[in-house]
């Protein structure tokens, strides 16, 4: 009689399939994003007066696109041109930053700043500087194409370290509300930007680091962009960014727009462009640079409030509540644990539908995704209050999935572990019974 194999509870768990990790990550991101709504969204574009790259056209294009896609009014769009007779760091501090914090203080609530820079960029000691125009180089001709000259002495520059210090401090407290920042950099070496130093996790860190700060850049930290006036250029990074955000915002049924999604679309397009066969050139590289993105602070990427995004508002509550309805009178809230089972393998379409459904829930409907597991189909475990459970059944009535109520009157968030452990123990008992019958 053969000895049946035994599985010890101490054995390490099987690795989680990547598709399950991705689904859990996307659902967690959606639950965080739906908690945030912006009282004000405003745009700041920055160029240098002595720019010689055509950045002024890109700044205008970017501002126009943000007004259209995000529904921003002209009064909330600030176009800064740094004069040639002003020190760039001083202008940044006393003009640009002043505008930013003046408008941020104009209302109470969470705000979003979208900052765009187009122009030159260079490295000094490995540090990024945003620069104005150098002396005008000779025009490009077919016989003498223009070469990139990284060692030209730029007339004006703003160190990235100054931008980071006064604008991107994740622990900055504002009495009028949190200011989130999304930065778009269109210049050479723009991927060399660095972020804040993340402290070790501890008490209060999550609350102190509640600002969301993101940067998307035209290149990595070692690469130049193609000169805007070169005959080798088809579109600038700003132009491709604008085209992509318009395309994503206009897609019916797609999840809302974030910088990571824009990055993915941009780099997918760049990859296809770089795969096209082109005649060799000793003077120009036909390889287009790949964009760079970094999530510097916050809990989830910024959900850009496009005009096509219709998040559900908070439910209207009566101002005068019956005494038994007051939170001070009620006992601790009861919760219910749900299992949402997808009748097939994980698919992009079903994931997008669940995410969009989460975005449609009112903000005071608190839903938490506890875990995602794979069986004959895919199960998503959620916990919700009794007041919210009716919303979950909308998924079932849409035919997307089946919702099974596993347990009620839950006061401990550890119940899910108990449920999983019980199912695991039952599975082991069945396995031992089958092994015993096969060996007898």
The domain spans of the chain are 34-140+147-297, 327-434
Percentage helix, strand, coil, to 5, in the chain? Answer: 35, 20, 45
CA distance 281 to 360: 52
Enter the CATH code of domain 327-434.
3.30.70.250
CA distance 74 to 77: 5
Domain at 34-140+147-297, CATH from 1.20.140, 1.10.10, 3.40.50, 3.40.190: 3.40.50
pLDDT value of residue 320: 44
CA distance 220 to 191: 4
pLDDT in tens, the chain (440 residues): 444 444 445 555 566 677 777 878 888 888 888 778 899 999 999 999 999 888 999 999 999 999 999 999 999 999 999 999 999 999 999 999 999 999 999 999 999 999 999 999 999 988 999 998 775 555 555 554 444 444 457 889 999 999 999 999 888 888 899 999 999 999 999 999 987 655 544 444 444 557 899 999 999 988 887 665 555 556 889 999 999 999 888 877 666 799 999 999 999 988 888 887 766 554 455 578 899 999 998 888 999 988 777 665 554 444 444 443 344 433 445 566 667 777 667 777 777 777 777 777 666 667 777 777 766 666 777 776 665 666 667 767 777 677 777 666 544 444 445 555 555 555 555 555 555 555 55
CA distance 318 to 404: 32
For residue 150, what are its two tokens?
């990284």
Q: Is 345 exposed, middle or buried (0-12, 13-18, 19+ CB in 10 A)?
A: exposed
Report CA-CA distances (Å) from 313 to 99, 261, 430.
Answer: 30, 24, 49
For residue 315, what are its two tokens?
């439910």
pLDDT value of residue 6: 46
Q: Which residues pair with 385 in a beta bridge?
A: 335
Residue pair 131/160 in contact (Cβ under 8 Å)? The answer is no
Asked if the domains at 34-140+147-297 and 327-434 fall in one CATH topology, the answer is no
H-helix or E-strand spanning residue 173: none
pLDDT value of residue 413: 45
Per-residue burial over 5-34, b = 16 or more CB atoms within 10 Å of its CB, e = otherwise: eeeeeeeeeeeeeeebeebbebbebbbebb
Tokens 């960029």 sit on residue: 121
DSSP one-letter code for 96: I
pLDDT value of residue 329: 39
């Amino acid at each position: 009689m053969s000895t049946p194999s035994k599985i010890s509870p101490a054995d390490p768990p099987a690795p989680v399939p990547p598709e399950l990790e991705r689904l859990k990550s996307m659902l967690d991101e959606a639950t965080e994003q739906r908690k945030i709504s912006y009282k004000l969204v405003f745009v700041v574009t920055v160029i240098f007066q002595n720019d010689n790259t055509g950045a002024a056209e890109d700044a205008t294009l970017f501002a126009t696109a943000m007004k259209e896609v995000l529904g921003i009014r002209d009064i909330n769009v600030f176009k800064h041109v740094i004069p040639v007779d002003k020190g760039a760091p001083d202008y940044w501090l006393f003009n640009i930053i002043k505008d930013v914090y003046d408008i941020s203080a104009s209302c109470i609530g969470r705000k979003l700043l979208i900052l765009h820079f187009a122009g030159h960029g260079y490295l000094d000691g490995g540090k990024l500087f945003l620069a104005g125009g150098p002396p005008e180089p000779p025009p490009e001709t077919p016989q003498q194409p223009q070469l990139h000259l990284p060692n030209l002495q730029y007339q004006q520059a703003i160190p990235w370290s100054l931008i980071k210090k006064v604008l991107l401090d994740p622990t900055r407290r504002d009495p009028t509300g949190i200011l989130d920042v999304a930065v778009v950099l269109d210049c050479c070496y723009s991927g060399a930007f660095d972020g804040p130093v993340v402290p070790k996790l501890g008490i209060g860190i999550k609350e102190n680091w509640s600002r969301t700060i993101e940067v998307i850049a035209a290149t990595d930290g070692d690469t130049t962009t193609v000169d805007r006036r070169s005959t080798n250029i088809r579109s600038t990074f700003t132009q491709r960014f604008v085209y992509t955000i318009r395309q994503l915002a206009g897609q019916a049924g797609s999840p809302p727009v974030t910088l990571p999604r824009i990055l993915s679309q941009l780099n997918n397009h760049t990859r296809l462009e770089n795969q096209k066969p082109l005649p060799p050139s000793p003077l120009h590289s036909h390889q287009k640079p790949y964009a760079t993105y970094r999530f510097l602070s916050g809990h989830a990427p910024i959900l850009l409030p496009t005009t096509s995004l219709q998040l559900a508002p908070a439910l209207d509550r009566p101002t005068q509540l019956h005494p038994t309805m007051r939170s001070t009178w009620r006992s601790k809230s009861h919760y219910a644990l749900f299992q949402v089972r997808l009748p097939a393998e994980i698919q992009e379409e079903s994931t997008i539908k669940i995410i969009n459904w989460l975005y449609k829930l009112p903000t005071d409907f608190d839903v938490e995704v506890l875990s995602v597991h794979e069986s004959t189909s895919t199960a998503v475990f959620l916990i919700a209050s009794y007041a919210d459970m009716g919303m979950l059944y909308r998924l079932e009535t849409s035919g997307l999935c089946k919702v099974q109520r596993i347990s009620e009157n839950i006061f401990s968030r550890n119940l899910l572990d108990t449920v999983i452990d019980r199912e695991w123990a039952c599975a082991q008992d069945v396995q031992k019974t089958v092994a015993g019958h096969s060996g007898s």
